[in-house]
Amino acid sequence: MTTIKTIGLLGGGVIGAGWAARAALTGHDAVICDLDPEAERKVGEVMANARRAYARMTLAPLTDIGTIRVVRSIEEAAACADFIQESLPENEEVKIPLLARADKVARPDVIIASSTSGLLPSRLQSGMVRPERFVVGHPFNPVYLMPLVEVCGGDKTSDATKQRAMEFYRAIGMHPLHVRKEIDGFIADRLMEALWREALWLIHDDVATAAEIDDAVRFGPGLRWAFMGTFLVYRIAGGEPGMRHFMAQFGPTLKWPWTKLMEVPDLDEELLEKIVAQSDAQAGTASIRELERKRDDCLVSIFQALRGHDFGAGATLKSFEERLFKFAGATAAPSAKPGEPLCLIRTRVDPAWVDYNGHMAESRYLQVFGDATDATMRHVGIDAAYLQAGMSYYTVETHIMHRREVHEGEPIHVTTQVLGADDKRMHLFHSLHKTADDSVLASAEQMFLHVNAKEGRACAARPDVLARIKELAGLHAALPRPEAAGRRIAMPNR
């Protein structure tokens, strides 16, 4: 299979822009076909939000950020693509001919996927010369964060296409769900539609407002749905006897007149105005970009919390990070250049790192230096397998010196010098620099002890890891010893 480097995106709206951001942040180039004269600005704003979210979500080293380019024709976006994702308006009369145009110019081995939220793939592939390479890859907003993508083939879609598409989606940090039977709306949208219909009736009948309905979900079942879904929650509700007991107890209630799911209120002007007014009141003065950032922050927090349990969306994030760490380890330079310290961390001061003084908070200095230590560990060959075996370096002493203030948005980088090493110890010195002028903002001196965590004792590092550390120490021995190395905190004598 051809290596996927360039993603052709047909449509640069909310979904297309989200695909562009996920593509770029996973090291792919995106070429977007969109006729909106504001497309570059809108996609750029989505990309900015995505970069902000990824910086908060994971400490794994991202691959080199890909490029995003906007073009004005389907053919230009499709001809250069290694994978094509269509996100055009939800209309067969629009999608079918434009997908056929992409099919004519795309290389024969290129998969063409559609982001449709409910149209049947057999219909969408009907105008294509090579329908076997077409598949639905239905994502959820924001595409750059939400891991679920529903994969569904049409009558003429090959099994190889579905498998290749799912493999690609996994590689960019998503959780592909194979919809085995072609059905309108697929799986997730049919479930959301059921909740949405009931919500419309609750507003129509003045039972609850839009804000109250959202509260019922986000303070109640939504918290459980985030990691367990529906059936695991109900299984637990059945107690020790499990799901059979739950169904025996609550199954009969399905016949009670609790729901209006089989009916839909007329979306007349009165109901529409009521919904719009309640939604406006709920949002208040927050702009769409502010709401997007709040949404992203909450999603990232859930992902990070679940990652620690290796469960649900957290397991997807953990798997994606392992890919990133593995890639970073495989592409790290084999050794440092003589006369130069390592420089493995380049970032900028995230708004969330800033305290009430407008400067980077004290704890964030340690975070950045910790990132530099982690990058150094990976550089010398300490990968996921090494850690899983119970081997690692533990920090036994840290001394941070603050020299200058660091402000929000400021580009920064860290250089690392190995001051010494033996079989069990490693002595590092990090310097945090302002990238604009290379001035030193802070430094951290650290001593590490190699341990076997499973046995709870210190031990020698693995020979290949130790060889690389000692190689670095030898190269760095020619560097001037940092002035702050070995400093201690003390009041001057009077």
Residues 180 and 166: beta-carbon distance below 8 Å? no
CATH 3.40.50.300, domain 332-476, yes or no: no
Q: Which residues pair with 10 in a beta bridge?
A: 33, 86
Give dist(CA 438, CA 320) in Å, integer. Answer: 33
> 123-132, 155-164, 176-185, 483-492: which range is least confident on average?
483-492
Top CATH class, 188-284: mainly alpha
Looking at 37-51, 186-200, 289-303, which range is the least confident one?
289-303
Confidence grade of residue 253 (pLDDT, cut at 50, 70, 90): low
Per-residue model confidence (pLDDT) at position 134: 98
In the structure, what pLDDT confidence band is assigned to residue 257 with cuts at 50, 70 and 90? low
Tell me what the mean pLDDT of segment 373-391 comes to: 90
pLDDT bin (cut points 50, 70, 90) of residue 55 is confident
What pLDDT score was predicted for residue 254? 62
Residue 112 scores a pLDDT above 50: yes
Asked if 392 and 457 touch (Cβ cutoff 8 Å), the reply is no
Contact (Cβ atoms closer than 8 angstroms) between residue 364 and residue 305: no
Structural contact between residues 303 and 57, judged by C-beta atoms closer than 8 angstroms: yes
Lowest mean pLDDT among 266-275, 287-296, 348-357: 348-357
> Which of 23-32, 284-293, 469-478 has the largest mean confidence?
23-32
Q: State pLDDT tens for residues 394-428.
A: 999 999 999 998 888 888 999 999 999 999 999 99
Alpha carbon of residue 175 to chain centroid: 11
Higher pLDDT, 259 or 148: 148
Dihedral-angle region of residue 239 (phi above 0 means left; psi in -120 to 50 means alpha; beta otherwise)? left
Token output for 187: 């799986």
pLDDT for the residue numbered 237: 83
pLDDT of amino acid 334: 42
Q: Mean per-residue pLDDT for 322-328?
A: 73
Q: What is the mean pLDDT of residues 152-170?
A: 98
pLDDT score of 120 more than 90: yes
pLDDT band at 337 (very low <50, low <70, confident <90, very high): low
Strand order in the sheet with 68-71: 68-71, 29-33, 6-10, 83-86, 111-114, 134-138, 148-152, 175-178
- Predicted confidence (pLDDT) at residue 335 exceeds the cutoff of 50: no
How is 286-314 classified by DSSP, letter by letter? --HHHHHHHHHHHHHHHHHHHHTTT-THH
Tens of pLDDT along 208-233?
A: 999 999 999 998 999 889 888 888 88
DSSP codes of every residue in 369-383: HHHHHHHHHHHTT--
Residues 6+ apart with CB under 8 A from 492: none
Domain chopping of the chain, boundaries: 6-178, 188-284, 332-476
Each residue of 103-113: b (16+ CB within 10 Å) or e?
bebbeeebbbb
Mean pLDDT of the chain: 90
Q: How far apart are the first and last CA of the chain?
A: 74
| Residue 286 identity | A
CB 36 within 8 A of CB 42: yes
Could you tell me what percent of the chain has a pLDDT over 70? 94
pLDDT of the residue at 332: 47
Most confident by average pLDDT, 60-64, 67-71, 247-251, 344-348:
67-71
- Which pTM was predicted? 0.74
pLDDT at 494: 60
Lowest mean pLDDT among 458-467, 473-482, 485-494: 485-494
Three-state SS at 484: coil
Q: What are phi and psi of 309, to 5 degrees?
A: -100, -5
Comparing 321 with 173, the larger pLDDT belongs to 173
Higher pLDDT, 274 or 156: 156
Fold designation for 6-178: Rossmann fold (3.40.50)
Give the E-state strand segments of 53-166 in sequence order. 68-71, 83-86, 111-114, 134-138, 148-152
